[in-house]
Amino acid sequence: MSTLQEAAIPAKETQTATQISGSQAVLESLLTEGVEIVFGYPGGAIMPIYDALYDYQDRIKHILVRHEQGGIHAAQGYARSSGKVGVVFATSGPGATNLVTGLADAQIDSTPLVCITGQVFAHLLGTDAFQETDVINITTPVTKWNYQVTDATEIPAVLAKAFYIAKSGRPGPVLIDIAKNAQIQQFDFEGYKPCNHIRSYRPKPVVRKEYIEQAAKLINEAKKPFVLFGQGVILGKAEEEFKKFIEKSGIPAAWTILGLSALPSDHPLNVGMLGMHGNYGPNVLTNECDVLIAIGMRFDDRVTGRLDKYAKQAKVIHLDIDPAEIDKNVKTAVPVWGDCKETLPILTRLVQEKKHTEWVNTFKNYTAQETEAVIHDELHPTAGIMTMGEVVNVLNELTGGESIIVTDVGQHQMVTCRYAKFAKTRSNITSGGLGTMGFALPAAIGAKFGAPDRTVVAIIGDGGFQMCIQELGTIMQSGIDVKLLILNNEFLGMVRQWQQLFNDKRYSFVNIASPDFVMLANSYGISGKKISLREELRDALQTMLNHQGSYLLEVMVGKENNVFPMVPQGCSVAEIRLK
């Protein structure tokens, strides 16, 4: 055969394998998954991956945190603001165990993470080698899935599975522990294939239309229907579908703290916050509605109060992607399994167009009572030291509800969730189910990387700020622009409130001394100011928002101000106290 004839025959397509290390395979896998940023801290057992990362710096941005807990909280903030999977690197031993709090937080709040930890050489496993811990057994209760890699050839498939599990169905954290020998090992890399199916893993339950039809029938017959919505609406990217459902059905809707911002704060059917420090009407009227429609929420104890006195008069419809949540805490009349982005449009087509005007006005009447008893004095005090509520209220006026607000845990968290206004989804980032103090500072850093075009304000208590205060160094080195608003009442405020109300004011170890926060921020190259006068508040907040780069504003607030309304522990939601 002539050379010309040979040229005319198309060559067979062949995929040639390339020899690379396990560490390179990790990074190639991340690139194919679209990962742009990793939060991490190097160490001996993960050093080969960091060595490989040296050659990938122009394609994967690495943020050097100051503590692994800061790294995983930053990844959580990134995931929550961007809707993408957060990625964390940590070394073995203490590096891996420092992730545990963040893993537990992400697990209970359904945040998609892939955490990659280094591990000692495979032949040393079980020998109590230097910085060896059994990270797989330690993290099994707080991960959606975990796996230990001891052979580099597993890396591409394992990481593909990790990303699929982390982001599919009800999201959650995944941890992959990679032995050092697997990081170094050379193997034939044939490319990375993303995963979209795992046998025996069904991330979305089959939607059963007959249950949706039953739900629609109950809703159409209801005189006092009430919607409770949670983060499932946001995770399912179903904000528009949810809005169409409540607008057609005319049903008032209240939110959990993780559901906050799924519906604009000023929407006429948005009736407020559920739970222990929620709004008066939504709590009381939970025990008066005839049909209760729960969407993407899990009936947490802080929402329900006493279960034996919770909504016993109502027929409960529960829409959730996780079948394990159905009937777990509250018995349902109709379970609607599935992704609410799929189930809500079907339900909306079947419900009748209505306006429950009298029922909605009942919520407004309770709001008026709450405003007179609590809200007005909290947001518009005329004398005395500043309240947390008035700080949040002025911030609302200056941001127009356009900012991302990240909160820590405590009184300031409840006040912010009660009074902050949001115009866009994915704007409220907080530690919900675990209640992790120290969350806000690193989470705000991650949130800004996840949404670089939006203003990010971290509202933090003086106690929580000191738990991850070292992450000011991450701000300094990365040059990220976050606004840090410390509400300082010189107490561990929420514990103090409980000690006041239920322990006869026996203030046991809740007085907390703080450093000069502004001076400390300045030492990290961050500008700041401390104020204690009401007349300074608006200008100080405006200065903070206008400042180019990170800024810390410390506001001194009332030492013994309490957060009300409040459902005392052991009481029903209808027993909520205004004072």
Rounded CA-CA distance 157/153 in Å is 8
Residue pair 34/447 in contact by the 8 Å Cβ criterion: no
What is the percent of the chain with per-residue pLDDT over 90, rounded to a whole number? 96
Better-predicted residue by pLDDT, 14 or 204: 204
Helix (H) or strand (E) holding 318: strand 315-320
The yes-or-no verdict on residue 11 having pLDDT over 60 is no
Q: Report H helices in 507-560.
A: 517-523, 537-546
Question: pLDDT band at residue 6, thresholds of 50, 70 and 90?
Answer: very low
The yes-or-no verdict on residue 95 having pLDDT over 50 is yes
Q: What is the mean pLDDT of residues 302-324?
A: 96
Nearest to 435 by CA among 175, 109, 141: 109
Q: In this predicted structure, what is the pLDDT of residue 476?
A: 98
The yes-or-no verdict on residue 22 having pLDDT over 90 is yes
Q: What is the mean pLDDT of residues 79-104?
A: 98
Question: pLDDT band at residue 579, thresholds of 50, 70 and 90?
Answer: confident
| pLDDT (tens digit per residue) in 414-449 | 999 999 999 999 999 999 999 999 999 999 999 999
| pLDDT (tens digit per residue) in 120-155 | 999 999 999 999 999 999 999 999 999 999 999 999
Rounded CA-CA distance 269/267 in Å is 6
Torsion of CA 285, 290, 291, 292, to 10 degrees: 30
Token pair recorded at residue 443: 């989470």
Token pair recorded at residue 156: 């591409």
Rounded CA-CA distance 404/427 in Å is 4
Strand runs labelled E in 10-67: 18-21, 37-40, 61-64
- 508 exposed, middle or buried (CB, 10 Å; 0-12, 13-18, 19+)? exposed
Rounded CA-CA distance 196/552 in Å is 44
Q: What is the mean pLDDT of residues 463-473?
A: 98
Q: What is the mean pLDDT of residues 333-349?
A: 97
Rounded CA-CA distance 80/533 in Å is 34
The yes-or-no verdict on residue 160 having pLDDT over 90 is yes
| pLDDT (tens digit per residue) in 258-300 | 999 999 999 999 999 999 999 999 999 999 999 999 999 999 9
Task: Name the residue with tokens 């991450």.
Answer: 474
Residues annotated catalytic, as ranges? 68, 130-131, 180, 494
Q: What is the mean pLDDT of residues 171-193?
A: 97
Question: pLDDT band at residue 15, thresholds of 50, 70 and 90?
Answer: low
Q: In this predicted structure, what is the pLDDT of residue 12?
A: 40
Domains of the chain (ranges; CATH) run 19-189 (3.40.50.970), 209-362 (3.40.50.1220), 380-567 (3.40.50.970)
Rounded CA-CA distance 284/271 in Å is 12
Rounded CA-CA distance 578/366 in Å is 11
Q: In this predicted structure, what is the pLDDT of residue 569?
A: 86
Q: In this predicted structure, what is the pLDDT of residue 1?
A: 38
pTM of structure: 0.95
Q: What's the CA angle centered on 100, arms 99 and 102, to 5 degrees?
A: 70
Q: In this predicted structure, what is the pLDDT of residue 334?
A: 98
Q: In this predicted structure, what is the pLDDT of residue 472?
A: 98
DSSP string, 348-414: HHHSPP---HHHHHHHHHHHHHHIIIIIHHHHS--SSSPPHHHHHHHHHHHHTT-SEEEE-SSHHHH
Rounded CA-CA distance 183/185 in Å is 6
- The packing angle between helices 22-32 and 155-167, to 10°, is 40
Mean pLDDT, the chain, integer? 95
The yes-or-no verdict on residue 497 having pLDDT over 80 is yes
Question: pLDDT band at residue 9, thresholds of 50, 70 and 90?
Answer: very low
- 428 exposed, middle or buried (CB, 10 Å; 0-12, 13-18, 19+)? buried
- Dihedral pair phi/psi, residue 85, rounded to 5°: -85, 130
Rounded CA-CA distance 190/265 in Å is 50
Q: In this predicted structure, what is the pLDDT of residue 16?
A: 66
